[in-house]
Amino acid sequence: MSSKIKLTSDEMKCIALFESITGATAKDCLIDEKAERIIFLAKQGEMGLAIGRAGKNIQTLRKMTGRQVEIVEQADTPEQLIKNALAPAHVKEIRITEKPERKIVVVEVEPKDKALAIGKNGRTIDKTRILAKRYFQIDHVDVT
């Protein structure tokens, strides 16, 4: 995973808020202005803690920030990060194609899960693309 990520002061404040409310460790935070949401990357194994019983922690974070909150579990490989970002869609296969000028990922999901993987107005696939680019320099993620 890339270690050259710079956080803004707002992102650092969000991480502090996330950690104090959930008790989970946030590895990263992205404020997505375009989609009016905050995406947190939770430490591996801490998703349950981050979400809270019946999603209570996410609801509290939404109220306090005034934005949608999405949590993705951290991963050490691009394949696992993409699977985590697309969850709960069932991923059948991930193919990474590296060309000299760009990296492209094609994700094959169960046909019934394609809409889930793309998300309303493309929100889920956008989140996946942002994280893949940020951590693994992947230029494009496509769902089939």
Per-residue pLDDT of the chain (144 residues), as tens digits, is 445 778 999 999 999 999 999 999 999 999 999 999 999 999 999 999 999 999 999 999 999 999 999 999 999 999 999 999 999 999 999 999 998 889 999 999 999 999 999 999 999 999 999 999 999 999 999 999
The sign one gets for the Cα dihedral 78, 84, 85, 87 is positive
Strand, helix or coil for residue 103: strand
* Residue 23 φ then ψ, to 5°: 80, 0
- CATH node for 9-73: 3.30.300.20
- CATH 3.30.300.20 placement within the chain: 9-73, 78-143
At 121 the pLDDT is 93
Give the domain 78-143 fold. Answer: GMP Synthetase; Chain A, domain 3 (3.30.300)
At 122 the pLDDT is 94
pTM summary value: 0.91
At 4 the pLDDT is 72
Task: For residue 6, give both structure tokens.
Answer: 């710079």
